[in-house]
Structure 1
Amino acid sequence: MDQSPPPPPQPAPAKSWSIHTRPEIIAKYEIQERVGSGAYADVYRARRLADGATVALKEIHDYQSAFREIDALQILQNCPNVVALHEYFWREDEDAVLVLEFLRTDLAAVIKEGKRRDGGLSAGEVKQWMVQILCGVDACHRNMIVHRDLKPGNLLISDQGELKLADFGQARILMDQGFVAEDENGQPYEQDTMYEQDTVPPSEAVPEVDSTSQEGYGSQKLGGISGEESLRDIGDSYDEVDKAVSIQDGNTSCFATGTASDLGEDVKSCYSFEAEEAGDDRRGSLTSCVGTRWFRAPELLYGSTDYGVEVDLWSLGCIFAELLNLQPLFPGTSDIDQLSRIINVLGNLTEEVWPGCLNLPDYGTISFAKVENPMGVEACLSGRTPDEISLVKKLICYDPASRATAMELLHDEYFSKEPLPVPLSELSFPSTHSRPDEDSSGGWHPYNDDGGDSDFDELGPMNIRTTNAGFSIQFS
């Protein structure tokens, strides 16, 4: 009898093995290396065979995320401050693969580098980054697209210093009277010319090639129906129940990934005891379980499913504060801690500061002890100018209706005062993205905080009381 040991088990194929075997992709692209990986997507650097251009191939394993990202990027295809989608491949029995422009670094790396520099980021640099972010967000909002996951790691930067919004896997096209998502391409976005010369000069665009093989809108037929019809059908079926993609997705927020990443969230917040599962379809209700905790608006933390582009504006305020102070404004370790930090700065949430807040789904479920002397945004931005503080306060406020729009901020006098935004050629930024395992000299938690929302032990004393609707928790 043969006593030789059994052969060692063969290693399992890589999660994204299929991209290497799909003939329509390898016929056009040389896949060089994987640069990001997560639960919902893998990203590869690749060379386009037709012209040698470097691109990013993003293979998305979640149908709903793929649908949303393609839908949004198709609408925003002419916007200079949004990552460019060159083409995509998608068949019913395979993952979607998006061909994106390749961007080497992100705003998180800029902030990390600024902490190492004497004097941090100059006022002119901060203004230039802000202007570009505002241009990108304004393009989204003009097209009724809410990003829902704005953060420094999703703001990618080209070799020329152009900042571009990425990761539209959680984006939603909002529905309102007179706006139908299926016909959204009728009015192309026009860039505001106020900062056009110094902010978004023409970059070396990756030249387009023949797209007859593209599984895209109005392109090749898929199984007897057009690519557009197939895409819509896939999106509709997966939008019946929102998968709430704000869960841990590994280190994929890098290069041109635009990948839902480093979120560290449970699918359902631990404190939403009375909240029902919220669907999130393109024509109906939204879900509150979106975005990365540190940049999540109060209405989302209180379980709202009735919100609009204002959730992006809150995220902008957090990003701008971090650009100015080089540390996050509200680095919460759980959703409860996140709310606590916001309340300690802005004070308790009441009808006086936000009419209608009593109607938030979880407002009656959780209450905090009265904050007699809230810190105020000023204390969080000590050493910054009154104009800088004023800009952040126009975004960091409870009432969504009171938050300044991106266009209003672009015309704010802050950007027309000296020092003016520096030209792109004078921006200083790292050549690679910021990795979460690098040194964090500020002593705060990294973006991919993986602590759950169910650890109440670290939050101090609490009082649980019975209510007509169930029970509530009060934190002191």
Structure 2
Amino acid sequence: MAEDWRKAISFSDRLQSTTEMQTANPGCQPSEASTQAKAREELARRTAQSLDEYHRLISRSVQELLVSGAPTPAGDLHANEHHFPNLPASGATIGRYTNAEHFSDGLFSEVYRALDPNLPPESGKLRMVALKITNPSVMQPPHDSVREARILEKATSDHIILLIETFRQSDGTFVLAFPYMPFSLDALLHERRLDLQSGKAIMRDVFSGLAYIHGLDIIHRDIKPSNILLATSKGPAYLADFGIAWCANDTASEGPDEKILDVGTTCYRPPELLFGYSSYGTKLDMWAAGCVAAQVFCLQNETLFDAGDLGSELALIKSMFQTLGTPDLTTWPGAEEMPDWGKMNFTKYPAKSWDDILPGADPRAKDLVKQLVQYESAWRPSADQTLQHPALMS
């Protein structure tokens, strides 16, 4: 009888428990708070002998987190980010680049822009560069700027951001220099500045870049609109930020069946990550690209799936199921290989129609997205195959 209550506990109950613990832990970075909350919830579910005891254990965990003040744990991956105290916001000198101006932050980096001194003003040619400043000594897997440089040196293609040079500084920082791109797909989507033809061209560039890196056994692992940069508002487009990319023959990458699961960004993460499958492949990028395509062809600044304000994995799973329907072994045969599949009972949601998911979108665009965001990764088309889809034709 002890197991009966576990089978009866609903997905919504578990999501609520996890969310309560996550919100009680504001001192942690969201990803770490989510990881801790899921671990505590799973421990409560396993050790409790009844539903009442389960709720008592959850309440105790919430109180412990509130009382502790939620200090950042020693193992927090983000504890040392943005530690470049000697650089001013403007007028900085970085290597041979002078008057550099800060313009954005990454998780483990600061990004400046400056004029390329190799093209002096009197030449009549100006080139702005983006300088990504990292500190490899404080980076934690899967983040690795030195590996990023090796991958980019290998993956030179028309739709992969060009790595101009790298250099180390006396303070231990490692700098990657790229051509400065004034536009990102994320900004265009939020400004609703994309017309259909520009969207098609940009997505062709994205899938061309993916086809190239996948042919080299490279998985980007963080495809999203902000990592798609553009030279103009109509393109060409370039895949950028390979800081967590995986490469089969790079010694700094994990083993093929031991890949890190904490990759990707919230709403663009595929189901195989959410259910603990570490042998994922290039189709991980295809799911994320399908989510991007849904925005380009219809949703604009709204995402296809919703992970909630806290970026909860359980909220993301629920959103997927409510949109695509709750999967079973018919719609997702590979679920049997997922370590976390079957650990809870899910509400059986019916799939929405694609007319409701992408209202007003061209039928060809709906078909493209539908193919890319299939639960079964083996059924998702490759990047090469996607380039032949009618939705991308001029």
Please report the TM-score for the alignment, with normalisation by the length of structure 1: 0.58
Runs of 4+ in 1 over 4 A off after TM superposition: 17-20
Deviations 1:410-457 (A, max 9, x none): 1123333xxx2xxxxxxxxxxxxxxxxxxxxxxxxxxxxxxxxxxxxx
Partners of 2:355 and 2:381 in 1: CA distance: 18
Unaligned runs of 5+ in 1: 1-13, 175-180, 183-231, 240-280, 421-476
Picking from 160, 167, 177, the partner of 1:89 is 167
Report 1:63-102 matches (<5 A).
63=139, 64-77=143-156, 79-90=157-168, 94-102=172-180
Deviations 1:220-263 (A, max 9, x none): xxxxxxxxxxxx6xx4xxx6xxxxxxxxxxxxxxxxxxxxxxxx
Assess if the C-alpha contact under 8 Å between 1:345 and 1:377 holds in 2.
no
The corresponding residue for 2:316 is 338
Partners of 1:108 and 1:45 in 2: CA distance: 19
Picking from 113, 116, 119, the partner of 1:45 is 113
The corresponding residue for 2:131 is 57
Partners of 1:368 and 1:378 in 2: CA distance: 25
Report 1:238-277 matches (<5 A).
none
TM-superposed CA distance for 1:128, in Å, is 1.0
TM-superposed CA distance for 1:93, in Å, is 6.7
TM-superposed CA distance for 1:92, in Å, is 9.4
Secondary structure of 1:367's partner?
Answer: coil
Report 1:434-449 matches (<5 A).
none
Partners of 1:282 and 1:355 in 2: CA distance: 24
Secondary structure of 2:330's partner?
Answer: coil
Count of aligned pairs between the two proteins: 292
TM-superposed CA distance for 1:284, in Å, is 5.6
2:369 matches 1:387: no
Report 1:312-351 matches (<5 A).
312-325=285-298, 326=300, 327-333=302-308, 334-351=312-329
Assess if the C-alpha contact under 8 Å between 2:101 and 2:114 holds in 1.
yes
Picking from 364, 371, 375, the partner of 2:352 is 375
Q: 1:147–1:92: structure 2 CA closer, same or farther, 3 Å change rule? A: farther
Assess if the C-alpha contact under 8 Å between 2:334 and 2:376 holds in 1.
no
**Letter aligned with residue 382 of structure 1:** P
The corresponding residue for 1:254 is none
TM-superposed CA distance for 1:381, in Å, is 0.6
The corresponding residue for 2:189 is 111
Higher RCO, 1 vs 2 (CA within 8 Å, ≥6 residues apart): 1
Secondary structure of 2:191's partner?
Answer: helix
Q: 1:338–1:26: structure 2 CA closer, same or farther, 3 Å change rule? A: closer
Partners of 1:92 and 1:33 in 2: CA distance: 20
Secondary structure of 1:99's partner?
Answer: strand
Partners of 2:183 and 2:316 in 1: CA distance: 28
Please report the TM-score for the alignment, with normalisation by the length of structure 2: 0.69
Secondary structure of 2:210's partner?
Answer: helix
**Letter aligned with residue 383 of structure 1:** G
2:226 matches 1:158: no
The corresponding residue for 2:97 is 29
Assess if the C-alpha contact under 8 Å between 1:45 and 1:54 holds in 2.
yes
The corresponding residue for 2:330 is 352
Q: Which moved more, 1:124-133 or 1:45-54?
A: 45-54
**Letter aligned with residue 366 of structure 1:** M
The corresponding residue for 1:415 is 392
Partners of 1:26 and 1:406 in 2: CA distance: 37
Secondary structure of 2:102's partner?
Answer: strand
TM-superposed CA distance for 1:351, in Å, is 1.1
**Letter aligned with residue 94 of structure 1:** G
The corresponding residue for 1:168 is 242
Q: 1:288–1:376: structure 2 CA closer, same or farther, 3 Å change rule? A: farther
Unaligned runs of 5+ in 2: 1-81, 121-126
The corresponding residue for 2:211 is 138
Partners of 1:378 and 1:162 in 2: CA distance: 30
Q: 1:56–1:339: structure 2 CA closer, same or farther, 3 Å change rule? A: same
Partners of 1:369 and 1:338 in 2: CA distance: 14
2:354 matches 1:286: no
Secondary structure of 2:317's partner?
Answer: helix
**Letter aligned with residue 191 of structure 2:** E
Query: How much is the aligned-residue C-alpha RMSD, in angstroms?
Result: 2.2
Q: 1:37–1:380: structure 2 CA closer, same or farther, 3 Å change rule? A: same
**Letter aligned with residue 97 of structure 1:** V
Q: 1:27–1:38: structure 2 CA closer, same or farther, 3 Å change rule? A: closer
